[in-house]
Amino acid sequence: MDISRENFQADFFLRLSRRFESRTEMVSEIGEVLHVGRDAVYRRLRGDTALSAQELINLSRHYKIKLDDKSVDLPQMYYPAGHEARATNEKDYFLSLERQILRAKAIPGARVDYATPELPLFYELYSPTLLAYKIYLFGLTTWNFQKWNGKNFSMDLIDPEIYKIAERCMKVAHSFPTRELWSIDILDVTLRRIEHGVQTGYLNDSDLVAKMFREMEAIVQHMENMTRAGKRFIPGDDPTENSPDFRVYHNELSNTNSVIIVDSNLQSIVFSTLVTPNFLVTYDERVVTQMKLWFNNLLDKANVLSADSAKYTTTYFHNLRRKVGNTKQRIEVMNVR
């Protein structure tokens, strides 16, 4: 398959993938439209087999995708949490998040750059107590859920389906080669939320608080494990040669919002927080180019955290653990009083 035709086929499938909530659903439907088996569909998705002219026509007619106009299915910028589609419950948000992750995964050769001033949500997806507490706070603030007004935090408030969605999101999110940009304050927002909850009485269950700190300690340990291995992997697993690459950079220069750049030779997307945890999504080449330049500029002025910079890396994670310990001690003093 020549390069131009291969790129067109990959781009066509990328546009088509936005019609489905999962890759499995997409493969099943394409197989029915083309009257071929799953393996044959996967060969076409990977680019191992070229779509015939008739197959391309059949798919474009069935899904009403114009072959000469990418803009039909590819708005330059949109806001998934806009008024007409705002979350009415916590499950809405996470289903929307899962769709975005799956769309990014459908891009051939996708890799991720992530700059954030606070702990990435993806690290809390495998920490049920921290995740539930964050959802609770967003429900009281950003989402304005009336159902939680006047109620103290409890795990029972959260739809249990969230944890299944979170697990699926976590597995896909950990499958991308990733570069991340951290500051020494990366845990501060999460720690302040816990301390504030105890101070105000919203968080008045000492067992839940203890679980949060155990989860925080586990997150820091897993962050360090991935950083030293230079590989991204799910907690509880061991990295292998085939695990996606993971590179971490420490930079204290200004970064006030979270930005995720999904980059590939075919397509690039930028996700940027707007009224956290909501986000903007853009394919606009001007914005994407600016974001790439900005991210790489920050990396140029950053220090690498890795096994090769052992002393610097050890100091960095020691400081993270110290922050967790100091907050834990302050809360223990509050409870004694």
CA dihedral 315, 254, 125, 292 (to 10 degrees): -110
Does 306 score more than 80 pLDDT?
A: yes
Q: Other C-beta atoms within 10 Å of 107: how many?
A: 22
pLDDT of residue 257: 80
54 or 175: which leads in pLDDT = 175
pLDDT band at 184 (very low <50, low <70, confident <90, very high): very high
Distant-in-sequence, close-in-space partners of 250: CB < 8 Å, separation ≥ 6: 181, 182, 183, 184, 302, 303, 304, 305, 312, 316
* Residue found by looking up tokens 């769709």 in the block: 99
Question: Which pair of structure tokens corresponds to residue 314?
Answer: 């050890």
The reported pTM is 0.78
* Residue carrying the six token digits 């570069």: 179
Share of the chain above pLDDT 90, in %: 59
pLDDT at 219 over 70: yes
Is 113 strand, coil or helix? strand
Please determine, for residue 74, whether its predicted confidence score (pLDDT) is greater than 70.
no
Residue 83: pLDDT above 80? no
**164-166-170 Cα angle (round to 5):** 120
- What pLDDT sits at residue 84? 44
**pLDDT at res. 156:** 96
Position 336 confidence tier, pLDDT thresholds 50, 70, 90? low
- Specify the pLDDT at position 20: 81
Lowest pLDDT segment from 1-15, 212-226, 258-272, 281-295: 1-15
Strand-pairing partners, residue 248, are 180, 305
Lowest-pLDDT range of 49-63, 257-271, 301-315: 49-63
Q: Rounded CA gap, 34 and 188, in Å?
A: 52
Contacts of 212 (CB under 8 A, 6+ apart): 129, 130, 133, 194
